[in-house]
Structures are given as C-alpha cells and as structure tokens.
A and B are shown apart, each in its own frame.
Chain A
Amino acid sequence: AQSVTQLGSHVSVSEGALVLLRCNYSSSVPPYLFWYVQYPNQGLQLLLKYTSAATLVKGINGFEAEFKKSETSFHLTKPSAHMSDAAEYFCAVNWGNTPLVFGKGTRLSVIA
C-alpha cells in the first residue's frame, strides 16, 4: 500500500538552530510531493512542492526540501528556526491516481 512516513511526531529546536523534518514514502517514484504547514485551528497552507523540475525545492518562509530518489525521501529543512515556525508540518504525496496521501504530521516547537 502507498504510504507516507514522517519520522518524529514532535521535534523541538532552539531559535536559530537548523530545522530538519523527515519524510519518506513507499512504493515507486511518485510524481509529486508536497509539504504543508498548519497553525493552530487553521487550515493547511502549501510550503513547497516537488514537480520533477529540480530536486532541491525552495518554498516560503525560508524552507526548502530535497527529493532523493535513492532514499525515497523528501526531507524539509530551514537553516535557522524562528519562533513563528512553530506549527504542525505535513508531508503529502500524489501517486497520480488517488487523492493526496498525507503523513501523520510533525509538530515543531521552537525554544527561545
């Protein structure tokens, strides 16, 4: 079955530290991958998406993600965490024949 795994339901970093949120997907190479962010009691907002144009994708708010086919991964990074980055982050994959499949999410806390 097609699945998306986000390692770590909760990640805590200090302000100014590197943010790394992990996402791995199953099965064959998927056409499209996404990262969404959700702030409390709000909907999901697109951070970035991979559509096969370039393996390193830059998104909003200084985030970027790298598609690694050999590792079936699409990890999200940001060089320096800001307090406003505290939110929940979801990885999602489109295999082309069904609606997006989401990971269970990773809650990011940023410590001052």
Chain B
Amino acid sequence: DGGITQSPKYLFRKEGQNVTLSCEQNLNHDAMYWYRQDPGQGLRLIYYSQIVNDFQKGDIAEGYSVSREKKESFPLTVTSAQKNPTAFYLCASSTRTSGPTNTGELFFGEGSRLTVL
C-alpha cells in the first residue's frame, strides 16, 4: 500500500543531543513537509521540499535541519539548538506545490512523538 512511514513512533532524548526523525514515502510525490504540533497551536511548518536537493524554511525552522537526497526520503534532525523540542512531529507529502491543477492536498504519516528528558 502506498503511504508515508515515520519512525520512530516515540523517541526520548536527553538535553543537548541531536536526534533524527525518519520520513519515507512511496506515493511518488515530489513535495514533502515537516510540521510540529503542540497542544492548542495547530500545525506549524518547519521545513518543506518541492524537489530533490532543495528545501525551504517554514515558519519555525530555527533549531532544525533537513536533507532531501532522495525523492522518497525527507529526514528531520532536531538539534540541540532547539530550545523546546518536546512535541509531536508530522511528516506529509503532496504533488508539487504550484501548478493550476494541483490542489495542494497533503498526505500525512502517523507522526513521531519526541520527549526531551
């Protein structure tokens, strides 16, 4: 079945450590996204990528990094510079953002919950 796989589902980290969240899709989508979700704040965009080897900062990119070396994969690294990393992280994909027939519909993974101890 086509879809988006995020791993791990749950992750615990000590302060000062970097962690990487995995996101893989087999939908043949060009664009991929990372969102952060905190209670009462909705979804906030961290980074997105519309094509391999290119990505753009979202609204809250500070303290995060990404790479897009393959179309199927868009890992997110939460660095030690992120002051409050405990949150639920969601990866999504879509056909390319621009274009007259593209609705921009996002397809989501199941999420990864990061807790900093």
Contacts from A to B (Cβ < 8 Å): 9, 31-32, 34, 36, 41-46, 49, 51, 90, 92, 94, 96-100, 102-105
Within 8 A of A (CB), among B6-35: 6, 31, 33
- Determine how close the nearest CB of chain A comes to the CB of B53; give it in whole angstroms: 19
Is there contact, CB below 8 Å, between A104 and B106?
A: no
**One of B62-70, B73-81, B97-105 contacting the partner:** B97-105
Q: Say whether A99 contacts B103, CB under 8 Å.
A: no
In the complex, 6 of the A-B residue pairs with CB atoms within 8 angstroms, ordered by the A residue number, are A34-B105, A43-B90, A46-B105, A90-B43, A103-B42, A104-B42
When C-beta atoms are compared, the residue in chain A nearest to B45 turns out to be: A99
* A43 with B103, Cβ < 8 A, contacts A90-B42, A104-B41 known: no
* B97 contacts A98, C-beta separation under 8 Å: yes
Count contacts on B: residues with CB < 8 A to the other chain: 26
The 8 Å CB contact of A96, one of B41, B104, B105, B110, is B104
- Looking across the interface, which residue of chain A has its beta carbon closest to that of B90? A43
Report Cα–Cα, A49/B105, bound state, in Å.
8
Task: Indicate which residue in A32, A43, A96 contacts B111 across the interface (CB closer than 8 Å).
Answer: A43
State the CA gap A41–B111 with chains docked (Å).
Answer: 7
User: CB < 8 Å: which of A9, A32, A36, A45 contacts B104?
Assistant: A32
The answer on a CB contact under 8 Å between A99 and B43 is no
Contact B48 A99 (CB under 8 A): yes
Q: Which B residues are in CB contact (< 8 Å) with A96?
A: 98, 104
The answer, yes or no, to whether B2 is at the interface (CB within 8 Å) is: no
Partner of B103, one of A9, A42, A49, A90: A49
Nearest-CB residue, chain B, relative to A51: B103
Contacts of A103 in B (CB 8 A): 42
**Apart from the given pairs A96-B98, A99-B48, A102-B43, 7 other A-B contacts in the complex at a CB distance below 8 Å:** A36-B108, A44-B92, A44-B108, A45-B108, A99-B33, A104-B40, A104-B41
